[in-house]
A and B are shown apart, each in its own frame.
Chain A
Amino acid sequence: MNATTATIPFETRSAATGAVPLESSADWSPSKGVVGMTCLIIAESAIFTIFVVAYLYYLGKDLSGPTPRQVLDLPILNSICLLSSSATITFALRSLRNGNTKKFNFWWLVTIALGAYFLLGTGREWHHLIHDKGLTIQTNLFGTTFYSLVGLHASHVIIGLLALSIVMAFAITGAVKREHAERVHVLGLYWHFVDVVWVVVFTVVYIIGR
């Protein structure tokens, strides 16, 4: 009955393989960062889905104006900027993997600039809607759903920009090197997600909803 007290050795210990690596080496072992970020993206997608459902559910149910068709303009340039930032962040990551940190810094900065321009565009659009068209979140159901859905996306852009800027600060001091490509790639996944959400928001708000 010594099974209850003895520490049980594993037969593989005698396999003379030297030091066992800290990380496991199971049959399929993806990057932790990628899996973790994927989980976050799944959860965020569920949040956005609920907001999109609310937007579509309340579409055309307003008791008073203004309606989307009366006040919304297509944010074409804005959308081009945000979507192309997905390309520039890919260029940046490719440069980093090749060890070209100068090129990485350049493309990373371009990505931040494009994201910031998008945010500026959203700000201008909101200013126009609030001051010229008199549409606030309290005005009607359109205002309620529009500002919350676009605002939720914009807040994700802000968080993304903050994270990108932190990496930029490190990059300027030369701290971001080739071996960090995997970590930076995880942040890139978030940025791609923010862009993909914009495609959905654009379609729902400016194409279906208008």
Chain B
Amino acid sequence: MNGTLTTGDISGATALGSIAATEKTVFDHIHSWLVTVDHKRLGLMYIIYALVFFVVAGIEASLIRIQLAAPNNHFLSPQVFNQLFTMHGTTMVFLVGMPMIFGFANYLVPLMIGARDLAFPRLNAFGFWLSVFGGLLLYFSFIGGEGMTGAGSAPDVGWFAYAPLTGKAFSKGHSTDYWILGIMIGGFGSIATAANIITTILCMRCRGMTLAKMPLLAWLNLIMCGMVLIAVSPLTAAQIMLLLDRFAGSHFFDTQAGGSATLWMHFFWIFGHPEVYVLIIPAFAFASEIIPVFSRKAIFGYPVMVGATLAIAFVSLSVWAHHMFTIGMSSTSNTFFAVSTMMVGIPTGIKIFNWLGTMWGGKLRFDTPMLFSTAFLFQFLIAGLTGIMLAAAPFNWQLNDSYFVIAHFHFVLVGALIFMIFAAVYYWFPKATGRLLSERFGKWHFWLFLIGFHMTFVTMHIPGILGMPRRIYTYEAGRGWGIWNLICTIGVAFQVIGTLIFVINILLSLRKGRPAGNDPWDAWTLEWSTSSPPPEYNFAEIPAVKSRRPLWDIKHPSDPDWKYE
């Protein structure tokens, strides 16, 4: 339908690459993955690594929900409960969220800007293996937390590890040290990869691709990586201090010797809040690529989208103390952090309107990626609204550390981030494997997960408002919390089944999926111009572009984008 597209010499070059792959043993294949510096393989390994830990942390969450399903339940002991919520939170943020977004950035950024690899391929492999080592170190605590001689114990200090609980006096053994070291090493990997992606985007764009013609995914990943540099380092610094406290006997967070527990809170949330945006900006990036393609329209308000993301990144660096309203700050501080937090709503609102503007009047196609993206829009809006509620300091005093907060940030991290990760997997799976995921399974996955998600997390607001604090391992009957917790737990079952269908879909489609071709969605960015899966060198010839939608220009030579941009 798109006129006379001839087969260029790219496909010829692809055939060349596959000749070498004929006489290899299984061991050779494993070896080649272990020593690879190819951004696509590293990207896939990041994503698989994140999916494995997604299942692990999902099991931890399910155990937590089973324990809370009924009052006075003794399915888990309090000690195990503490370990599970610590490991669930830590794993989801550091071993699922971070590797997932870096996996997609790794895979997609060079393909979308017309480059052959990241700027520093070996540094890229180094960053990945550091992340893996950090994750394994954290999970080794289950068998090694008390040292090799004692029974193991996972960290149980919560994912934000408040002082003075983490001090040597209160956290004996080494479980807290595994938390510190595992996360710190993963952090080094994140900083290395972020620097790598920034350098790639700034130095290796193909001819004609000015910053203003980059796909939004590249722009948003550039901003995300800049935030990683500024936001992850404070956590590293604070963790160095905590290590010194625990091993060298210093007094940073030792309140007995004049140290301050509040300072840890500040340092942690100086990392912790921007971290939320580090995780959510890639979700915006996926939405900004997927929604236009399935609306058959160019993104609405490209420059405003970039500006709004920059504004979110900038403002989000000055909102951290909204996690700390209850410690008793001055009213000036309370006002400042409440106002700055609410200000984040302005650029975020602009982005939601722009996505809606993209869909408005478009020829919408509701394939699975678009279904997840549409749900993301609604759910992210609700997450933002409860966020603004929590930004009001007096309201926050009432609900801080209650299940209302848990419901709020799970709307962000599951309702927005995980939904967009699913969308991205459905959208780019054909590029990475050459086969489409099954739409039928995809729709089952979507609806089951959607129903389960809302059963769990819409309901979870209510026990929060009724006063149920987070991190309690059980509660008395007669509080009025039981029925709501039961509904939350039933919702988890739907999410688990949905996720199982997703995993089965991936495994089946890898073998039997419909062949995708280069460009199954009729999309417009450069990654769809090369074969699926792309050859090791991505492009036989480095492309040159004239507009933000280079493939549109080629498919519609009579009406190219560059005439209007």
Contacts and interface: CB of A to CB of B under 8 A. Distances in A.
A12 B544 contact: yes
A4 B519 contact: yes
B204 A148 contact: no
B495 to A, nearest CB: 33
Interface stretch (A85-93, A97-105, A137-145): A137-145
Contacts of A138: 248-251
B424 interface: no
A27 interface: yes
Contacts of B2: 2-3
B250 A144 contact: yes
B47 interface: no
Contacts of A49: 234
A4 B522 contact: yes
Contacts of A12: 207, 543-544
Given A8-B529, A20-B542, A148 B244 contact: yes
Given A9-B6, A32-B199, A51 B237 contact: yes
Contacts of A30: 202-203
Contacts of A13: 8, 541
Interface stretch (B83-91, B115-123, B278-286, B331-339): B115-123
B259 interface: yes
A50 B236 CA distance: 10
A46 interface: yes
Interface stretch (A34-42, A67-75, A127-135, A164-172): A34-42
Nearest to B550: A10
B206 A26 contact: yes
B399 interface: no
Given A10-B554, A26-B206, A137-B248, A54 B241 contact: yes
Contact of B259 (A4, A11, A47, A141): A141
B219 interface: no
A-side interface size class? 35 or more
Interface in B511-552: 516-520, 522, 529-531, 541-544, 550-551
Contact of B204 (A23, A40, A54): A23
A173 interface: no
A25 to B, nearest CB: 6
Interface in A57-74: 57-58, 61-63
Given A20-B541, A46-B234, A6 B202 contact: no
Nearest to A25: B207
Contact of B207 (A24, A28, A43): A24
Contacts of A27: 210-211
B8 to A, nearest CB: 3
B555 interface: yes
B25 to A, nearest CB: 31
Given A8-B554, A10-B543, A141-B259, A50 B233 contact: yes
B442 to A, nearest CB: 18
Nearest to B557: A11
A1 interface: yes
A46 B227 CA distance: 11
B116 A22 contact: yes
B544 A36 contact: no
A39 B199 contact: yes
B260 A57 contact: yes
Contacts of A58: 258-260
B195 A26 contact: no
A42 B252 contact: no
A130 to B, nearest CB: 13
B30 interface: no
A171 B368 CA distance: 59
B50 interface: no
B205 interface: yes
A46 B230 contact: yes
A3 B555 contact: yes
Contacts of A152: 240
B544 A10 contact: yes
A39 B260 CA distance: 31
A144 B252 contact: yes
Nearest to B236: A47
B135 interface: no
Most B CB atoms within 10 A — which of A3, A5, A22, A62? A3
B23 to A, nearest CB: 27
A165 B530 CA distance: 45
Contacts of B258: 58, 61-63, 140-141
A42 B230 contact: yes
A44 interface: yes
A43 B249 contact: no
Nearest to A36: B199
Nearest to B6: A9
A64 to B, nearest CB: 9
Contacts of B260: 57-58
A13 to B, nearest CB: 6
B5 A3 contact: yes
B98 interface: no
Contacts of A29: 203
Contacts of A7: 7-8, 10-11, 518, 529-531
Contact of B518 (A5, A28, A43, A51): A5
Contacts of A137: 244, 248-250
A145 B270 CA distance: 19
Interface string A143-164: 1110110001000000000000
A32 B555 contact: no
A39 B7 contact: no
A42 B230 CA distance: 7
Interface in B475-489: none
B551 A8 contact: yes
Nearest to B516: A4
B229 A43 contact: yes
B115 A35 contact: no
Contacts of B257: 63, 140-141
Nearest to A45: B233
Given A8-B518, A24-B206, A39-B195, A46 B237 contact: yes
Contacts of B158: none
Given A2-B2, A61-B258, A43 B198 contact: no
A185 B43 CA distance: 31
Contacts of B230: 42-43, 46
Contacts of B241: 51, 54, 148
B196 interface: yes
B194 interface: yes
Contact of B252 (A8, A10, A36, A54): A54
B273 to A, nearest CB: 14
13 contacts: A3-B1, A9-B10, A23-B203, A24-B114, A24-B209, A27-B211, A28-B202, A29-B203, A42-B229, A42-B230, A46-B229, A61-B258, A141-B257
The 3 closest A-B pairs by CB, nearest first: A39-B195, A9-B8, A46-B233
Given A6-B6, A26-B205, 4 more contacts: A4-B518, A6-B518, A47-B237, A49-B234
